[in-house]
Structure 1
Amino acid sequence: MEDFGIIVACCASDYLFAKGCCASIRHFLGDVPLALLIDGTFPVDSMEKAYGVKVVNRLNVTHKVLRERSFGWGKTKMIGFWESPWKHFMMLDADTMVWGNVLKYANFKDYDMIIDQPCYSYTDKNVTKFFFDIQGIEQHFPDFDWQKYRDNYYCTGVFFATRDIFTLDEYVEILDFTEKHPEVFKYGEMGFLNFMIFRAVQQGRIKVGQEDLQLLVPDFDQQEIRKRFPMTNSGPVPADETATAIHWCGPKPTLATSKVYSDPMSFFRRKYLRETEGLTGLPAEVSLQLEDFQRFVNVYKGKLRRRLAAKK
């Protein structure tokens, strides 16, 4: 595929999972070009050296408005629409990994974007919870027929896209709107990106395809996920033509968690350490546990800062 690469968006607290994500890409997809879209400042030298990843961060983003207004939770991966190193790209959240040849869905001949196809319908309550306040959309964007696309809205942790399909001015308008009306769009970029996508579809500006790109871990019983994604000590055991991105969009796949099936992510985190730092056995386990502990500390600090800010 020409002028194409995969971008993994991450920050300091989820870089541990980005390592596993990138290792899974190398395992299943070979030498496809890779980039890290980084919110923050932390060393990624080992990944640059081992996997040849490009780095997109605040230091090299060319658009001033993106440097100043589009880093942080719920906005960072939007930068890819204008700053992707490639015309066509796949965007992945850090807490994902690929399983199988997901590139078979990258049909840029017919579509500008290829997004996930939800496996269920949304009630008004679900639309309001996960995407946007319905009354707010009807009030501020009366020309948008949100009902028409209600069963197409999706979790934006995984998608294929083409650079510059949205204008930067359109995005700035969305940023301005969300600052004035923070209650309308939900879950970071998930609400307003779905709005941007399907408003553009309605207006005939872009073509969007939908495929079964993503498995949302919280939507399935843990035993069912174990059966669908079996692991052995030597690695994954792909079944038939299964190709998807596993997305831990709820509880995270840390090493010792019992809340979710984390074996696939744990395997690829170990693989990353082996391939980049030569660590195996006990030293590798200690390194992974230290990463998990540091993540816990970072997440706790973040929650504490938000609580303090809310009290001011």
Structure 2
Amino acid sequence: MKDFGVIVACYDKDYSFAKGCCASIRYFLGDVPIALIVDGNFSIKELENAYGVHALYRPESAHECLRDKEWRSSTKMLAFWESPWEYFLYLDADIVVWGDLLKFANFTDYDMIIDHPAYEFTNEAINKWFFNGIQIEKYFPDFQWQQRPYFCTGVFFAKRNIFDLTEYQKLLELRLANPKMFYGMDQGLLNLMIFRAADRGEIRLKQESMQVIISNFSISELNQRFPMDKTGPICIENDATVIHWSGQKPFISRSTVYSEPMNFFRRKFIQDAWGYQGLRAELMLQIEDFKMYKNKLMRRLIPWSK
């Protein structure tokens, strides 16, 4: 595919998962170009050396509303205007690829391909996980917000510049003025942008079932759906999705989450980057997890400690 690559967004606290994500891209998608949107100024030299990953540093963005955190723009939104490629696959850092996900990349007929949710959202669920429907009716009276297949925005295919940056900036201003209007950094706002643009005929939109959110399934169900053996994933032919740890994160020692696919790819990165296996690799993962867990705990106990 010409002028196409994969973009992963991360900050320092989930960089360890981003390395596993990139390892899964190399494992299943081959030599496709990869870029990492970095929210911060930390080095990703190890990913550059191992997989040729290109760094896009958020503080270096040419656009104020994408660069400055006062706007409360999510890191992933840089991809729509500053992707190195005209066409791209976007992935959150806490995701691994499972199978040939590129089979969904139909840019001949569509400008954006997003996940189709496994369950239909009630109005109550939409108000909880996406946006306040009453406020949406107030500011966007022509938009039918109910009974829509909204999606978790951890994975999507898109064409660069399909959205107007000025309109996005206005939406950010609206959110700043109405803090309880949208859920999360991008989930509600991006879904609104996508479905409004599709309604107006500005983008050609397609939905495919290409995301499994681990919090929606039991560990036994996930173990059966994504089996692993000593050599790695047991992926059946034509199976293609991403595994998304949007709830509890897949720390190496966390027994309450099915984390084996991410564990495998985090280990694979360590082997690909430094050649380490066995106890040395496990120690590196334990240290990474301790640092991530410590920082998350500190932010819970002391909200201003960042």
Under TM normalisation by the shorter chain, which class is it?
A: over 0.9
- 1:97: how far off? 0.4
Corresponding residue SS for 2:90: strand
1:251 matched residue in structure 2: 248
- 1:145: how far off? 1.3
- 1:308: how far off? 8.0
Name the aligned partner's letter for residue 111 of structure 1: Y
Cα distance in 2 for residues equivalent to 1:133 and 1:190: 12
Q: In the alignment, is the contact (CA less than 8 A) between 2:9 and 2:37 conserved in 1?
A: yes
1:77 matched residue in structure 2: 76
Asked whether 1:2 is paired with 2:41, we answer no
Cα distance in 2 for residues equivalent to 1:82 and 1:242: 31
Cα distance in 2 for residues equivalent to 1:281 and 1:256: 15
Cα distance in 2 for residues equivalent to 1:274 and 1:13: 21
1:90 matched residue in structure 2: 89
Cα distance in 2 for residues equivalent to 1:221 and 1:41: 37
- 1:239: how far off? 1.6
Cα distance in 2 for residues equivalent to 1:213 and 1:286: 33
1:87-144 deviations in whole A, cap 9, x for unaligned?
A: 0101100000000000000011111100001121111110001001111111121111
Q: Unaligned regions of 5+ residues in structure 2, if any?
A: none
Q: In the alignment, is the contact (CA less than 8 A) between 2:211 and 2:242 conserved in 1?
A: yes
Cα distance in 2 for residues equivalent to 1:41 and 1:163: 24
Name which of 253, 273, 277 aligns with 1:276. Answer: 273
Corresponding residue SS for 1:109: coil
Asked whether 1:106 is paired with 2:127, we answer no
1:259-286 deviations in whole A, cap 9, x for unaligned?
A: 1110110011000000101211111111
Q: In the alignment, is the contact (CA less than 8 A) between 1:120 and 1:151 conserved in 2?
A: no
Cα distance in 2 for residues equivalent to 1:184 and 1:240: 43
Q: In the alignment, is the contact (CA less than 8 A) between 1:70 and 1:79 conserved in 2?
A: no
Cα distance in 1 for residues equivalent to 2:18 and 2:301: 24
TM-score when normalising by structure 2: 0.96
Corresponding residue SS for 1:194: helix
Q: In the alignment, is the contact (CA less than 8 A) between 2:25 and 2:97 conserved in 1?
A: yes
- 1:40: how far off? 1.2
- 1:188: how far off? 1.7
Identity %: 50
- 1:58: how far off? 2.9
- 1:70: how far off? 7.8
Q: In the alignment, is the contact (CA less than 8 A) between 2:109 and 2:204 conserved in 1?
A: yes
Q: In the alignment, is the contact (CA less than 8 A) between 2:59 and 2:68 conserved in 1?
A: no
Corresponding residue SS for 1:175: helix
Q: In the alignment, is the contact (CA less than 8 A) between 2:8 and 2:18 conserved in 1?
A: yes
Q: In the alignment, is the contact (CA less than 8 A) between 1:118 and 1:151 conserved in 2?
A: no
Cα distance in 2 for residues equivalent to 1:14 and 1:248: 12
Name which of 292, 301, 304 aligns with 2:298. Answer: 301
Q: Unaligned regions of 5+ residues in structure 1, if any?
A: none
- 1:64: how far off? 3.3
- 1:303: how far off? 2.8
Asked whether 1:219 is paired with 2:216, we answer yes
Cα distance in 1 for residues equivalent to 2:305 and 2:48: 37
Name the aligned partner's letter for residue 271 of structure 1: K
Cα distance in 1 for residues equivalent to 2:12 and 2:131: 28
1:28 matched residue in structure 2: 28
Give the alignment of 1:1-312 within 5 angstroms.
1-69=1-69, 75-147=74-146, 150-306=147-303
- Give aligned pairs, total: 306
Cα distance in 1 for residues equivalent to 2:117 and 2:33: 28
Name the aligned partner's letter for residue 298 of structure 2: K
